Chain A
Amino acid sequence: MKLGRLFRYQTVLGILSPVVAVMLAFVVGGIIILVFIKSFIFTPAALVQLQEKGLPAGVLESLQALEGKEYANTSDFKKDVQSAIGEQGYRSYGALIAGQTRIRENPLQVYNAIFTAALSNRDGWGNVLYRATPLIFTGLAVALAFQCGLFNIGGEGQMVMGGFAITWIGFTFIKLPALLLIPLCILAGAIVGAMWAAIPGYLKARRGVHEVVTTIMLNWIAVAFAQYLTMAYKPAESWIPQTHKIAESAQLSRMAEYLNAIGIDFPKSNLLNTAVLLAVCAAIFTAFLLRHTKIGYEIRAVGFNPTAAECAGISVGKNTVLAMAISGAVAGLAGVNQVMGYKHRFLYGAFEGLGFDGIGVAFIGRNSPFGVVLAALLFGILDYGGLAIDVSTRVPRELVLVLKAAILIFVVVSGEITKRLIKSIQKRREVQN
């Protein structure tokens, strides 16, 4: 009975803390919007206000020329006002004029714009899912390695190498039918990703080199290598660095085709493709692997307590390499969405940053496969909805990056606080007993 109550505490706190963290991050984002976003509009009302505040008639007259003008930032505003009323005038009345014409952006409206664009219609949902798909792969990769006590920040490199392998198979074996070529591409991505991730796994198992540093370094090696390969396989007529196009039989079909066929209205232009199904399968596979197989049990045992695992006859070295390899294989699949689903060729720009975002996704999802899917959806909403705020508000879309960073920091901090809270509850219970 007592244990049952403790378990409830843990689940409730475990779910609550990321939610609170996300909310806090939105509050921080809101403060940034309120502090930084200032635009200046010379409305007739503002001019009247200025007159009432005691702005000299001469200065006011020269300001009349600016009526109706709008400035997105301080430097443009300053330049125009200075040219209208002179530097001397700006020095004495600039603050007063700025105070009356300044308009701030309402953070709630900005967030509303993000969520409306992302979730108000099927097109938005489709795009959110499309953007979440690669993040599910890279996030699962981090979560899987984490269960073995490994911090795989090499998702970026494994994804890029896997992505190139997918593309290479796709434009080399153009004669193969789709039924053979698509699985072959997917397999190639997984194998190359696994091989790339096995390097840090091996170095950790055999040489005791911490995987964080090696995976960081391998990321940049992979990026440079992929850029070299891209140039090597660039079609002669192309001016931008990208490879040949993959065979039509290697391209995945858009979800719209299937959805329209069963009578659901879905725009054909939507990028959502069948890779999203593979992502869901990968999440289920990871959950099953970790919870219900011998491999998963051994991986988790090593992650929980390597010494105990070694005593129980579980090889730490073998499982370290294995966990990294499986993790890399999942990360390598991100290219299925990026190359086979959309770009149909390899260019690094289509991948940039997805591996790093995956780390955030894994941590926000508490390193559980289901949590990763939810967190990937959150990032998908932010990524796609962020495009809309450029259009409908005065806030640059880079706000989304600030939000992501804030979410990440609050999630790790709140996770640590929750852990300590649970520990102290446990301790109190032990004392009571």
Chain B
Amino acid sequence: MDTILAIFASSIRLAIPYILAGLGGTYSERSGVVNIGLEGMMLTGAFTAVAATNASGSAWVGLLAAILAGMLLGVVHAVVCVTFKADQIVSGLALIIFAAGITVFCAWLLYNRTQIQVEFYLRVPVLHKIPVFKVIFNQIPPLVFLTVAIVIASHFIIFKTVFGLRLRSVGEHPQAADTLGISVAKMRYTGVIISGALSGMAGAYLSLEHAHYFVKGISAGRGFIGLASMIFGKWTPFGTAGAGMLFGFGEAIKPYLPKVVPSQFIDMIPYVLTILVLASAIGRATPPASIGVPYIKE
């Protein structure tokens, strides 16, 4: 029983970055912009969170800074892809390279080393002192609750609000949306910037909550698993969350598996599943129709 609980708890912990990054990808891709830069946004967020936390003395400031840093990279991606209509994949790749460089660059300059401990932890201000809540909040990172809230909110935002309808419409058929007076550029900017904010948050979770330190290349491909979660979840918030949980679970049971199964094969599962679902070998995933295509007004 204890083992099952431990696996469950650790799969949630491992899934949070996948879910947040995947949700970020969902907002961006629903608006028609491919964002493979999630990984870079995450890494930048992870570093910014630690640096801002240690400088300000509050992990919440760190979280906010990470979100802002992610949004900043989102703005860069949007300017390159939406305003200049340049290649979205190359821009995303440039973001990844940039993040790998600038985080280590700043780590050397600010701290003279590439592994930085977090000095303050994320605590819910008042609640963690009340005995009943104390147990919950000391066991489960507050960002887990925030993530659950974001998943539910995202479902309503994307599928039940006017904003969501517009976001989806510019991703499916930008010409039609434009004719109806929806600004394609504005919606795409919003989508990409939201994806930056969520990926930055995913990075902050990694460094502040998961590892309690920042280290060179801490994101280690998690942004790509986020991307895989998004595709496996068919570009929907609940689907993404489910896929993220599944991939987190796969990683969580690794230590409990018999030695005959090499851990590297478990690592492949998210990627293999993504390819299978895209090839309609299991289920069918259809991306938004106008994804990756810059909108040029006639």
Contacts and interface: CB of A to CB of B under 8 A. Distances in A.
A388 to B, nearest CB: 16
A220 B268 contact: yes
B265 A408 contact: no
B275 to A, nearest CB: 5
A402 B264 contact: no
A362 to B, nearest CB: 9
Interface residues of A, number: 49
A75 to B, nearest CB: 6
B287 A217 contact: no
A224 B93 contact: no
Contacts of B186: none
Interface in B103-121: 104-106, 108-112
Contacts of B90: 359-360, 363, 408, 412
A74 interface: yes
Given A36-B105, A73-B112, A221-B272, A360 B80 contact: no
Interface residues of B, number: 47
B86 A416 contact: yes
Q: For the complex, would chain B's binding face be called helix, strand, loop or mixed by DSSP majority?
A: helix
Interface in B78-116: 80, 84-87, 89-91, 93-98, 100-102, 104-106, 108-112
B265 A404 contact: no
Nearest to B111: A75
B235 to A, nearest CB: 12
Contacts of A401: 97-98, 100-102, 104-105
Contacts of A231: 262, 264
Nearest to B100: A401
21 contacts: A75-B110, A203-B275, A207-B278, A213-B274, A213-B278, A217-B274, A220-B271, A224-B264, A224-B268, A231-B262, A398-B100, A400-B101, A405-B97, A408-B90, A408-B97, A409-B91, A412-B80, A412-B87, A412-B90, A413-B84, A415-B86
Interface of A: 32, 36-38, 72-76, 151, 153, 203, 207, 209-210, 212-214, 216-218, 220-221, 224-225, 227-228, 231, 356, 359-360, 363, 396, 398-406, 408-409, 412-413, 415-417
Given A36-B105, A398-B105, A409-B76, 10 more contacts: A73-B110, A213-B278, A217-B271, A217-B275, A224-B264, A225-B264, A360-B90, A398-B102, A405-B101, A406-B98
